[in-house]
Structure 1
Amino acid sequence: MFVHSSSSSSSHDHDHSHNHDNSYDVFLSFRGADTRNRFTDHLYNALLDANINTFLDDEEIESGEPLKPELESAIKSSKASIIVLSKNYAFSTWCLDELVLILNQKRNFNQVVIPIFYDVEPTDVRKQQNSFGEAMAMHKLKMDVETNAEKKSQWAQKIELWKRTLTQVADLKGIDAKNRKETELLEEIITDIHGRLGVPFSDTLPLLVGMDHYIEFISSWLADGSCYTADILTIVGMGGIGKTSLAKYIFRLHSSKFEKSSFIEGINTRCNEQFNGLLELQNQLYGDISKKTLLQVNDVFMYTCKIQDALARKMVFIVLDDVDSLDQLDALLGKQGLHPGSKIIITTRDASLTERCALFNPKVITKHTKILLKGLCETDSLELLCIHAFKSQNPKQGYKEVSEKLVKYCEGHPLAIEVLGKSLRKRDDVDEWEFYIKGLKKEPHSRITKALQMSIDSLPFKNDKDLFKHIACFFVGTNRDLTETILDACDINTRSGIRNLIDRCLLSIGLNNTLVMHPLVQEMGRELVRQESPNKPWKRSRLWCHEESFKVLKQKKGKGNLLGLALDMRMLDKKKLRKSFELKSDSLSKMDNLMLLQLNYVQLNECFQKFPEELRWLCMHGFLLKSMPSDLPMENLVVLNMSYSNIESFGMHYGNLQQCESRRKLVGSCSKEKQLLGSLKILDLSFCEHLHSLGGFFELPALEKLIVRNCISLIEILA
């Protein structure tokens, strides 16, 4: 299987090397705004799955810019071009220039060209009517306003060339997508390409690196069967971790050993994106295991009855890929049980799926096995990267260090390694690699985030999605119990929520009970928050980037939409701050709903009474004052962390009544008024070198834990 995403290249083309050894089977020409995330994306994946080496450009370009050299190279090095002619195709000068070059390749070198008329009439393309006429009129308008005579002449020549080319492509034998089922349309295109190019159908094994132990285990599981039981194996893992590739490898290796077999790929995606998607999946499965004429059934329940009858009569080997719900599983397997000796492999992102289902009746014992796919080790990651980037098992000379950086960024994630490796394949400059990696930290690759985001989209409860965002932004690496204490107070059901995130492979528990999240998953969670307002951070629900947090506070732009904010002054470039280190406490005054606040080593002036009253977690490492400010509203605080601060005493004796009253206001009061720290459960004063005395804990009725590690001056603790 091959995939390529375009990138800038230093390679040079010349006219006589028109086929470049036919680097690609197919070049896909399309207008991104129309079809990128729908038909073209589905077509692209279908081509790859059919063993058709396909070039799809992964970057948009502004209209009017010249065709990129790597696109010219890809067109010239392809055996065929598929042109998805959509309503806005002709508005892009880039698309039109592609089309001209493609038709030249057809005339001069017999390149196969297949136009697909997607939501447009061939006549509109041929005669430049409707949207195609509007596009040509727009280009003519640009020509008319051009004042430079030479450029005006170039515009005129181009427009005439584009018109001739559109007429020519409309006269070719193409495929009209109107009123067609997408699955049928894709099948026709794949069959056409196979027939015209002679590309063998995909019967080769997928490329797998670092999965030998999984292959050995599953192969043994398949061989180790009983004539009295049926077996189900669930492969669990995060998106892009290799579940489908592993299952496909196993299926192609062993399916011939079974009387009936079926591989149903992309179940959740097809159910969500296709009308009657579940019926079509049932149709495919029933056809594979029965080898009968497909049924004309338009009811999922009725089809389930037919399928479960067939499963009860035959020993089968079935792979159900990307299952996301019990409804999908019930529809495809039913509840009547399997024939003894049958083997079912399920791939899913939800570890709890098969544990929660009661699929089968007791007539045939069904044994369940589950394996969790983990990321690749560094050695295997580097090998996989080199295969995709250099077509070798080792880095090119001079690329070892930068390759290791990319491996570290991917953290063993196979899809990320594959996508980024192929994106960098033609970047022949180490500095370009460095620049590319730096850019990934600001904006992750779309194919990677798309694979990962499906796990988030499938979470059934808003509670779990909010919890995921909170953890991704603020609590990765934090103790689980501490996080639960904080977020429970924010009306988040953390106990069940964390369990659901773990089941979805979005979270794990590490050493010392800490929350562990794959860096790419964490970045995806933060990207979801970032997209709430890409260019106006103060309009987001959470701020974790220290530079953005500082600017929002400095400019006093924070509003009631903010739920959490983190700022650590040590993480900022002091040179860029122009000595404006100090912040005013009223910067937080309009953040009425702020519940999570970290202000580490921040110098605040003025009074603290304008702090948000809804705070549940306040972390102020390096606090400069010698005592807690008495006007700081803390009625709802459940966790207060003042580690590494200059505090000398907390809730202790005072030399005069005024100090005593001030402190009583801070730690609480025996009166009927609400206690200021009455909700506090955890107080952390670790590494406060000047702290010498503590007390007043009888005024903190909810306090469960006091942490005073390395308080070297502490000599007195009173109740």
Structure 2
Amino acid sequence: MVAKLKVHINTKIIKSLIIIDTNIRMVILSEVEQGCSSSSHSHDHNNGKQQRYDVFLSFRGLDTRNSFTDHLYNALIDAGINTFLDDEEVETGEDLKPELEDAIRSSRASVIVLSKNYATSTWCLNELALILDQRLTSDQIVIPIFYHVEPTDVRKQQKSFGDAMAEHRQKMEAETNAEERLRWGQKMDGWIKALTDVADLKGKDVKGRKEVEFIEEVVTEIRQRLGVPLSDTLPLLIGRYFRIREITSWLTDGSSSHTADILTVSGMGGIGKTSLAKYVFHSHSHTFDKSSFIEGINLRCTEKYNGLLDVQTQLYGDISKRNKLSVHDTCVYTSQIEKALAGVKVFLILDDIDSLKQLDALLGNKGFHPGSKIIITTRNTSLTEGCALFNLEVKPRHKTLNVEGLYETEALELLCLNAFKCIDPKQSYEEVIEELVKYCQGHPLALEVLGSSLHNKDIAYWNNFITKLRKESHLDIKKVLQISFDSLQSENDKELFKHIACFFNGMDREISEQILEACNIYAISGIQNLIERCLVSISQWDNSLMMHQLLQEMGKAIVREESPGVPGKRSRLWCHDESFIVLKKKKGTETLQGLVFDPKLLEKEKFHEPWHLKTDAFSNMDNLMILQLNNVQLSGSYENFTEELRWLCLHGFPMKSIPLDIPMEKLVVLDMSNSKIESFAACCTSCNPQPIEGWKKVKIRRINIEYI
């Protein structure tokens, strides 16, 4: 059951509170004030008090600061548990500092390290009394650790605890001020009660245990008892509640207890795979014996010589009881990881996997402990089932989840949150916001980056910024998206991607494949590779090629970089203004493979009549294979057209018959929609292989002529 509520707390309105009825957990996806005030991301429990810490550590510095408590604190931090530790060595005064009181009250749990000299400190005793009070009034979790002391000695104030309380009593009796003596007496009563009560709680005794294993056990228990972490440790997710619920259902499904489950989360770069995985990890990792979240694996492996070994070291350290190994061979490390994975139920998230080598090095081929769950985020949908694990007789259960862009209302909210620090548009900004939301097409990274770039900027700046985006992609977005392009294994697939970005986005897949195959591109296998890399998708409605606008802009930017200042030396021209300049000045070169031009779509110049163009403007374009000329009136010999043409598009062609000197030997698609052609007998004759000399070798597969 999913419900959206509006909850009033201290006059603030939490506008997007998503309650997921799984283990009765509450997931706050976004908490912001109505209007344009700053956003709030607190996680409120315990009578509405803001909680800033997961754990408060109470300990006697003299006994354990530089040993047990220090190790425990580091283990808690490494486990992602937000922990308060007072780093003051010297106690000043008898009463607690206000910041200590505040830290105790704003913690969800307290761990009390009861050591030999704990009771000698009035600060420790005051902390203990306040902690136990919070346990009663605010349901604070309290875990006592008996560090080489007996619970009975604590309960009955014997041995070192008895000696300490006797000293406090002597100090009280020596006090000459009656009011101060009374205050001491009240404190003594509170301390005695606190020591008695804490000893009666279910605690943990370190005696006879290895401290490393003991600390590990304590951390695991704390994670399990805390459950959902503080919301400020979670990424802000807008519009992802359905995916969270879907992954939560998969995580809590115990039907495959005899084996392990693998979930592949795929999607284009910046679409939110990592944030989604991180949210799920922090929400559920405490329910497993061991867990590990390794972020940015591909980047770590490619940026550093021993990057993969570093990733293996982190994974092994997270899931093994042993310290890291002195191993410098990835194959040897894989063997050790396999042994660790087989011995304990784990929850792993391997973020941004890009090769089978990475996957096999981290997961091996021996299988997992039953009940383990593994999430792999990747831009390559076909990767997971190619790894060695799927060669086993008993294969892991595998499920895929594709992350797509946000809906328009959610995209609007995310953009406004970054641009205005509220979820509603500022007055008079509606038009520019709508234009930018349309440009981003629900891409979370783009919405966040562009929104942040426009924070506190006026409308004139917005308009100028958006105009610039049409000419040049934002560098931070382009970097993320281009990782997928750079990872393509073949030049064929890279050229195919650029062709689709410039000319084929939105076109029928079958027609596109015919044209591209004729252009010496292996399109059938290449398109499948691009689909698996989340660079292209296929429309379920009309079988057309679909490329996200940001990916298309990135592809065009790559082509533009071939010759930034001289368009005629690029491989492709799709911008009508640039094509106009190249054709007008006859600056085309043999580098050009494709060109699109329609004078009606020019931004800088306007033509009300068909534009006249001499065919000799194409005389230097020897390798031109794709030519789209719409609403252009040509004059001169068509022999100036290259014989390499595969796709010729002449919308609005003004002549009544097709010139016989158009080179058509390699042409596969001729599109003359909205033309004035009255008869196509010549072409029909040529297709029958007869009369007209020079047309006998024509292999046109598709002809489209629509009369005006």
Q: Which TM class, normalised by the smaller chain length?
A: 0.5 to 0.7
1:471 to 478, 487, 500: 500
Deviations 1:536-566 (A, max 9, x none): 1011000000111111111111111111111
User: 1:621·1:643 contact (CA, 8 Å) conserved in 2?
Assistant: yes
> 1:619: how far off?
0.4
Rounded to whole Å, the distance in 2 between the matches of 1:664 and 1:576 is 37
TM-score scaled by length of structure 2: 0.65
Runs (4 or more) in structure 1 with deviation over 3 Å come to 200-203, 360-365, 573-580, 663-677
Match of 1:533 in 2: 563
The answer as to 2:262 corresponding to 1:228 is: no
Kindly tell me: are residues 572 and 365 of structure 1, through their superposed partners in 2, closer, same or farther at Cα, counting changes over 3 Å? closer
2:274 to 231, 234, 244: 244
Deviations 1:390-440 (A, max 9, x none): 11111122222221221111100000000011111121x112111111111
Q: Secondary structure at the match of 1:513?
A: coil
1:502 to 522, 531, 551: 531
1:455 to 461, 471, 484: 484
Rounded to whole Å, the distance in 1 between the matches of 2:490 and 2:409 is 38
Kindly tell me: are residues 506 and 594 of structure 1, through their superposed partners in 2, closer, same or farther at Cα, counting changes over 3 Å? same
Spell out the pairing of 1:675-690 with structure 2 (5 A cutoff).
Answer: 675-676=695-696, 678-686=698-706, 688-689=707-708
Match of 1:119 in 2: none
Rounded to whole Å, the distance in 2 between the matches of 1:340 and 1:415 is 36
Deviations 1:189-243 (A, max 9, x none): xxxxxxxxxxx99961000000000111111111112321200001000000000
> 1:670: how far off?
4.2
User: 1:337·1:360 contact (CA, 8 Å) conserved in 2?
Assistant: no
Kindly tell me: are residues 645 and 201 of structure 1, through their superposed partners in 2, closer, same or farther at Cα, counting changes over 3 Å? same
Rounded to whole Å, the distance in 2 between the matches of 1:360 and 1:578 is 63
Q: Secondary structure at the match of 2:462?
A: helix
TM-score scaled by length of structure 1: 0.64
User: 2:501·2:556 contact (CA, 8 Å) conserved in 1?
Assistant: yes
Q: Which moved more, 1:231-240 or 1:393-402?
A: 393-402
Deviations 1:477-518 (A, max 9, x none): 111111011011111111111111111111111121111111
Match of 1:441 in 2: 470
Q: Secondary structure at the match of 1:408?
A: helix
User: 1:337·1:363 contact (CA, 8 Å) conserved in 2?
Assistant: no
Rounded to whole Å, the distance in 2 between the matches of 1:305 and 1:615 is 56
Kindly tell me: are residues 573 and 239 of structure 1, through their superposed partners in 2, closer, same or farther at Cα, counting changes over 3 Å? closer
Spell out the pairing of 1:206-605 with structure 2 (5 A cutoff).
Answer: 206-225=235-254, 226-360=256-390, 362=392, 364-427=394-457, 429-510=458-539, 511-573=541-603, 575=605, 581-605=611-635
Rounded to whole Å, the distance in 2 between the matches of 1:316 and 1:235 is 18
> 1:671: how far off?
8.3
Q: Which moved more, 1:235-244 or 1:513-522?
A: 513-522
Rounded to whole Å, the distance in 2 between the matches of 1:377 and 1:515 is 21
Kindly tell me: are residues 594 and 280 of structure 1, through their superposed partners in 2, closer, same or farther at Cα, counting changes over 3 Å? same
Rounded to whole Å, the distance in 1 between the matches of 2:282 and 2:562 is 43
Match of 1:108 in 2: none
Matching residue's letter, 1:377: Y
Give the alignment's Cα RMSD to 1 decimal. 2.4
Kindly tell me: are residues 202 and 325 of structure 1, through their superposed partners in 2, closer, same or farther at Cα, counting changes over 3 Å? farther
Rounded to whole Å, the distance in 2 between the matches of 1:291 and 1:379 is 47
Rounded to whole Å, the distance in 2 between the matches of 1:577 and 1:640 is 25
> 1:291: how far off?
3.5
User: 2:418·2:452 contact (CA, 8 Å) conserved in 1?
Assistant: yes
2:659 to 629, 645, 650: 629
Rounded to whole Å, the distance in 2 between the matches of 1:555 and 1:577 is 17
Rounded to whole Å, the distance in 2 between the matches of 1:459 and 1:361 is 25
Deviations 1:569-620 (A, max 9, x none): 2212484679993211011111111111101111111111111100000000
User: 2:600·2:607 contact (CA, 8 Å) conserved in 1?
Assistant: no
User: 1:230·1:364 contact (CA, 8 Å) conserved in 2?
Assistant: no
> 1:463: how far off?
1.1
Spell out the pairing of 1:45-64 with structure 2 (5 A cutoff).
Answer: none
Rounded to whole Å, the distance in 1 between the matches of 2:611 and 2:604 is 8
User: 1:336·1:361 contact (CA, 8 Å) conserved in 2?
Assistant: no
Deviations 1:423-474 (A, max 9, x none): 11121x1121111111111111111111111111111111111111001100
Rounded to whole Å, the distance in 2 between the matches of 1:664 and 1:231 is 60
Matching residue's letter, 1:205: L
Matching residue's letter, 1:634: M
Deviations 1:94-124 (A, max 9, x none): xxxxxxxxxxxxxxxxxxxxxxxxxxxxxxx
> 1:271: how far off?
1.0
Q: Secondary structure at the match of 2:264?
A: strand
Rounded to whole Å, the distance in 2 between the matches of 1:351 and 1:391 is 35
Kindly tell me: are residues 360 and 645 of structure 1, through their superposed partners in 2, closer, same or farther at Cα, counting changes over 3 Å? closer
Rounded to whole Å, the distance in 1 between the matches of 2:276 and 2:594 is 40
Q: Which moved more, 1:356-365 or 1:375-384?
A: 356-365
Count residues in correspondence: 481
5+ residue gaps, structure 2 = 1-79, 83-228
Spell out the pairing of 1:78-97 with structure 2 (5 A cutoff).
Answer: none
> 1:368: how far off?
0.3
5+ residue gaps, structure 1 = 1-48, 52-199, 653-662, 690-719
Kindly tell me: are residues 578 and 591 of structure 1, through their superposed partners in 2, closer, same or farther at Cα, counting changes over 3 Å? same
User: 1:203·1:252 contact (CA, 8 Å) conserved in 2?
Assistant: no
Matching residue's letter, 1:464: D
Matching residue's letter, 2:434: E
Matching residue's letter, 2:529: N
Rounded to whole Å, the distance in 2 between the matches of 1:264 and 1:345 is 11
Deviations 1:239-294 (A, max 9, x none): 00000000011111111111111111101111111111001101111111103221
Rounded to whole Å, the distance in 2 between the matches of 1:426 and 1:636 is 56
User: 1:561·1:591 contact (CA, 8 Å) conserved in 2?
Assistant: yes
Rounded to whole Å, the distance in 2 between the matches of 1:573 and 1:666 is 40
User: 2:577·2:604 contact (CA, 8 Å) conserved in 1?
Assistant: no
Kindly tell me: are residues 274 and 480 of structure 1, through their superposed partners in 2, closer, same or farther at Cα, counting changes over 3 Å? same
Matching residue's letter, 1:545: C
Matching residue's letter, 1:679: K
The answer as to 2:640 corresponding to 1:610 is: yes
> 1:358: how far off?
4.1
Kindly tell me: are residues 606 and 361 of structure 1, through their superposed partners in 2, closer, same or farther at Cα, counting changes over 3 Å? closer
Q: Secondary structure at the match of 1:229?
A: coil
Rounded to whole Å, the distance in 2 between the matches of 1:669 and 1:412 is 52
